[in-house]
Structure 1
Amino acid sequence: MDTTLQDPLIGHVLDGRYRVEARIAVGGMATVYRALDTRLDRVLALKVMHPSLAADASFVDRFIREAKSAARLAHPNVVGVFDQGSDGSYVYLAMEYVEGCTLRDVLRERGALPPRAALEILEAVLAALGAAHLAGLVHRDVKPENVLIGDDGRVKVADFGLVRAVDQQTSASTGAVLGTVSYLAPEQIEHGTADARADVYACGVVLYEMLTGAKPHPGGTPARVIHRRLNEDVPPPSAVVPGLAAALDGLVARTAARDPGLRPADAVGLLAEVRAVREALADEQLDAVPPAAAPDPAAGPDGPPPGSEDRTTVLPRRAPAAPPDAGAPERTSVLPAPAVPRAGRPRGGPRGRRPVAAAVAAVLLLLGVALGVWYINSGQFTRTPGVLSMTEAEAKRAVEEAGLEWRVVREHSETVERGRIVATDPGRGERIRGNGTVTLTVSRGPERVEVPDVAGVPLAEARERLADAGLAPGMVTREFDADVERGSVIRTKPEAGTGRRPGAAVALVVSKGERIEVPDVVGESEGTARQRLTEAGLEVEVAPERVFSEEEAGTVARQSPGEGAVAAEGDTVRLTVSKGPEMVEVPDVDGMGEDEARRVLEDAGFEVKVRRLFFTGTVFDQSVGGGDRAPRGSTITIWVR
């Protein structure tokens, strides 16, 4: 779906500075766009509050608090905030643009991660939160959606919109808890309060999800999740992914303990524990490949649907202690009761034969089960060996040693090295006939598309060529270049011939044409100024309103951009024409004291020069007589005796 047809901000220049280029994501409180700062010529992310919330002063305050809080955290793992402002009904934050994806995107696409990858991501998150905790701040909304992973591998924590100072009251004044249900600590749900240990708890849930590919307390609705959160511990991840190291179970248990007193005190303490666990684990434990998880069908490209557990929501401060179904009428079973012969009833006839038939069926069923077990364990079946990440030759040898045949298919993989096994069918440990065939999927390595050479090509055509090559036209920046025609591509980032994954964005650097130094035309007549600028290759725009100035009427009072500025051919210079000096009536100060006369003349808009003949301090003459008119800002001389 083309969002440009539905989103009025795309293509709009916000606050006269930020040109909105594309929508990145939609959240519960705001929409994030990719935008260009036209003043500094840089790409950034623009977070714009939904207009329906901008009328709420508390939400606007929270937005501004995010800017101030994030600006305090100059840390490489924190998304930087550059600016904050408003334009009509739009309230926005201008933030660092991170090209890549979120941790939620990774989990949705890949499911569980190897422990090494999960711990490395967590360490970067904790480094960011540790900086916040040391600064006396609590994030309060840690979740995979707020963990950004750049194309260069950098991990950054975003969205400090719920941040609060540790030593301030942390429950909302309305008695509500703001956050995301799946990652709220029990004390946030019960009491609406949060300190650094609430962020620690959320990190424990995120770690569990990275290790297993699923949330620890799925419930379908926020109420069910809340009930389980308050009454159940986070289970050990090895219960979902057998074979995970016990140290990982212990780390999750300590981090996501229901009692905040049992958790590490803050992200700094937890970071030390995570590093200790990672160093203690063997390589095979860190690199264990978890089973693939199916993608979450409920989550769309812009994030979870409304009402989902992953949305930032407002919840009642006190959650009900009873389970969601408490108070509902008891269900009446519709299953028939077992037949019991009544005393004295004859055992012959149709009714008497039913128990006998049931007994015979049960015996036959038991015999069938026994035969099945014997058949499965009699050597007719075996189990598929584990060969994931092995080389093709190693995997074939392992399959043959298990007495099985193999066949090979090949596919691209972003995560598995070329020539190694991505998957098997049947999967590892599954039963297969003793003479069966295992399909080995061998990695071709990452699929790559070569960036076409579009240097010297007009921008619109260059975009078409990138799309035809299977790539996405990315952000556009502009530079002066006398050798490349204005509006045509100078180069691409990455450069032509570089391999990129299909659908990856390619940035374009477009020529502004030859560099032109803007001439100074202030004080010249409008016609002369227009001619000089046009001859320099510039367009001219004249402001409709004239202004008072020291310049003669009909001449240029000011220009934008001014003298010495650098522009490109075809750029516009705006001229403002002078009405001449503003004439002001001069006060009569004859007979006043020097100080009083100076004050009166300055208040009227004049400069004052004093000449003294004697030292009595009384004005006896002035250069422009009282009641006459003189240009505002001009100098009036007074004589004092």
Structure 2
Amino acid sequence: MTNAPADPMIGRLIDGRYQVRSRIARGGMATVYLATDLRLERRVAIKIMHGHLADDNTFKTRFVQEARSAARLAHPNVVNVFDQGQDADMAYLVMEYLPGITLRELLKDYKRLTPEQTVDIMDAVLSGLAAAHKAGIVHRDLKPENVLLADDGRIKLGDFGLARAATANTGTGQALLGTIAYLSPELVTRGLADARSDIYAVGIMMYEMLTGEQPYVGEAPMAIAYQHANDTVPTPSSKHPGVPAELDELVLWSTAREPDERPRDAREMLDRLREVEPSIRAAHVPLTTQATTVLPAAMPVGAATAETRVLDGSVAASTATLEASDDEATALARSADRRKRKGYWIFALVLLLTGLAAGTGWYFGAGPGALAQVPATTTLTPDSATLVLEEAGFTVEPAERNDPVVPMGQVSGTDPAEGEMAQRGSVVTMYVSTGPAIIPVPDVIGAPEADARAQLADFTVAESSQRQFSDAPAETVIAVLDVDGNPVGATYAELGALTLVVSAGALPDVIGLPAAEADAALVNAGVAVAYLDPVFDNSGAIAADHVVAMEPTTDPVRPGDTVNLTLSKGQDLVEVPNVVGLPMNQALDTLRAAGFEVAYNFPEPLLTFATCTSTDPAAAAQAVRGSTITVVASLTL
């Protein structure tokens, strides 16, 4: 068995900022990866367009449209879009990362959902879709795969890859866009879509959640499309009788074949869903009842002693019974009257208690005393976050606080925190980020790298340190750089990005070593070696083919850099010319022309009258070019 080839994107740094960690999912247009935003130190989802689509302007336009469409939405039920760009030939989109599952995966595990679960999910989906419709955006590709269920309970709508402006009312001559199982009749027949087309897809999703299956199936896509265009979606209760009538009505309303017969947008459908939600939940709350015992009617006094005889097939009452009958009738009438009056009081009491229970239930279930989940507002603008919190039923009190991650001016969180339950109408403190706190930077110069990292725990220290050769001991910190590559000052932003510069030790001293030994020592230290032209070393200290000089090509020198080596050619030896017998001036000129310095002890004014008698070194001897030849002369008479 051969292993599948590794994804070349894993580990890649996109645009110098996003480090790809692993693959999340692959679709028709793009692949989604989990990545780390190195600038803000947070996990993100990065969608990268398939390479074979990079030259297709239609797909590139649609890809950019997704970024623009989603970026216009700031809503807790819509996946946030942070960035969009191009790195070389790759178009990418950076989104909020939500660990969890999709609605499709939930349906695979549970087959179908309860009415209450369906209402919860549809409330979130319609809330996000209502924000899109309000912004003039039609999603055009609603399906369970695009509903994200986060581990922390948040439900968000994503993948606006096919989104268009609602006012465009555009058609397409291309193949039908979107998943065929959720396409509205008008998209199938005319290729036109507006907000009501999204509502149709919502209705199909609701049917699937309640029944565990799609309303239309077929062996070929066109067979399914034909059913969408010509058939009426059945009620979910026809498949499962336990589905409430209110949800049947919503499914039929939202999947009407004629767009004009559907809700005009997601807000209208959401309002209707919330109207019927209390009755749906009440109808599915299990009732606890006490056992009722039916007691026989009280027997009248004396009845136990009455004598009864059966004569000739008829019943005869005893004389005692006949005499007491009038009194018993009167007593029974009074008893019945008392029971009737008592029944009125009991009925009135039941009505009162029922009213109190209903009022209490309303107060704590949907009224001011109800608990509601605090929505997510982190990274929203204060105005958008205030609107989201107020729509959830809370009173907003703004405040400020430092936040090392959320940019200044955006909401960094709330108290109570998002996801917690709080009473409707209660005050939620909304914190607006004032940016990171400025804190002192510990002095870690000279400390071992591990110790320095521990001391800098309040900052974001890059995983990879810079290494350079220095006189400092190896593996100790010699500099701390800020995000611009400059030495950091005494204070810095909390969780700000820092890079450590760590000593790689001193470069090996290779002067005087044979070329092979010097080369090996430097390569082992992690630097590359280049050679300059060899030179003579007339000092005699460096033998031929040994290193006479080492010159770095960078300052400072880091592992992987290059150093230049110069080798010695040994001494430059020249034969001493024979100048014995020559006039002194001529002898000196000859020696100088041969590259030597000269020394003599004959007076200058008499040189014209002197003759060379000997040299040291002697004629024909080998001497170093540039060395001094001592000349001895005598006076010519």
Q: TM-score, normalised by structure 2?
A: 0.48
Question: 1 or 2 for the larger relative contact order (CA 8 Å, sep ≥6)?
Answer: 1
